[in-house]
Amino acid sequence: MDINNDRVILPYQHVSQKVLLGFLLGFSFLFIAVSFYFNSFEEIINGQFKILTSPSNLTTDYFALTTVGATFFNSGILMIHSLVLMKMTKARINGPLIAAFFTVAAFSFFGKNLYNSMPIVLGAFSYAWITKVSAKKSLLAALFGTALGPLVNEITFNIGLPILPGILLGNSVGFVSGFILPPLAHHFVGFTKGFSLYNIGFSSGVVGTIVTSILRATGVVIEPVSLLSSGYNLPLSILFFFVFASLLVFGLYQNGWSFKGYGSITKHSGQLSTDFLEKTGFSLTLINMGLLGLVATTFVLVLGGELNGPTIGGILTVVGFGAFGKHLKNVLPILLGVILIGYLNSYDMSATSVIIAGLFGTTVAPIAGRYGFFMGMVAGGLHLTVVSNTSYLHGGINLYNNGFAGGFVAALMIPLLEAVHYHREQRRELREPVDPAEEIELEKEKS
């Protein structure tokens, strides 16, 4: 693949930044349109107000808190907000930004909203301004860093403060959290060696744990919650199977109606940073995203789970990272490992907590990509056991709890695996991870 100014040149077509922007805008408007299928304008507006003004700790399913329509509308609005930030920073749309875009969309189903995202975004960009680095270097931290959005809502609305002091303190803590995330995320890439794709999830977990500890020391009670919906499988399965099948079909069309070249994606381990859009092109990336979406949705339904806010969030996150590190070869072992350990330990496999542990547990997919199918299953099983015990540490104010747990899994497994792998593979050394923030470029920067 070749790059020519602002165009990604593929074997079958030239995909401009305008086309990529249109693709993401299309998703945004689709979700907004879907919202009006489920609910009226008045119901959506009332639901939006409730979303903005309610605590949103893990796991607060916005379907259960409000309505399906209000939730899809919330996701669509935050997707557009993400695109506005990309245009403001003049960043090129690439694999990491597609992953960030879909992750924001995903967690807008259970925890993120415009109110609790803004102070974190402002904090991340203020860090760039004060340290005199390009705003694009803080863009990923601004987007992914909204994982700590529930912290803003929790302080504002749920610790007993009057509304104005609550707003002031909540936004201040959110701003500070956003400010410190860019340097922390850069540092923690080395901690996981790039084998946990949700790097900012680990950073957010550390920040969330510290803030929660401080609040608990003052007598504030912060606990994870479980507000979940059910009963929407039929309409939502039709919707998402159609959407992901459309991605697959369009990708195949652009790729000459074949899977030719898909092996060039699966040969990559997925270790940070692996930008499939740059390495293999738009058509193969769409094929990969479509396949992952179909597999992830099937995973939920086969286990008897519900298509609710958290599980849809898990599906969309897997799809987004289909542009940035995940593919069938490194995702399937993680899912199977979660299933195996779940059954061996008599988990309720239809429980939302188990299903999202599988979906979000694919954060450690690069372990399967480098060390093989069996070690991928081990990573998936270990992730299920670890993630069950980490949400208490941050009280559910870090939405990327699986990224937090996945960081520990990667940090534990990689040194041990590499010690063996290093000798078996004729001393082939592990490459150093790349901070995804370093992959963000200006639209006219690449030539």
Q: What angle do CA 237, 240, 246 make, to 5 degrees?
A: 135
Checking if the pLDDT of 101 tops 80, the result is yes
Domains of the chain by residue range: 10-226, 233-438
SS (H, E, C) 243-307: HHHHHHHHHHHHCCCCCCCCHHHHCCCCCCCCCHHHHHCHHHHHHHHHHHHHHHHHHHHHCCCCC
Residue 254: other Cβ atoms inside 10 A? 20
Q: Write b or e for each residue in 118-146: b if 16 or more Cβ atoms lie within 10 A of its Cβ, otherwise e.
A: bbbbbbbbbbbeeeeeebbbbbbbbbbbb
Closest CA to 277 of 147, 101, 108: 101
Using a pLDDT cut of 90, give the percent of the chain over it.
89
Q: What confidence score (pLDDT) does residue 9 get?
A: 40
- pLDDT single digits (tens) 154-190: 999 999 999 999 999 999 999 999 999 999 999 999 9
Checking if the pLDDT of 3 tops 50, the result is no
Mean pLDDT rounded to a whole number for the chain: 93
Yes or no: say if 290 and 245 are a contact pair by the CB < 8 Å rule. Answer: yes
Yes or no: say if 45 and 66 are a contact pair by the CB < 8 Å rule. Answer: no
Query: Measured between alpha carbons, how far is 327 from 330 in angstroms, rounded to an integer?
Result: 6
SS (H, E, C) 53-95: CCCCCCCECHHHHCCHHHHHHHHHHHHHHHHHHHHHCCECCCH
Q: What confidence score (pLDDT) does residue 439 get?
A: 80
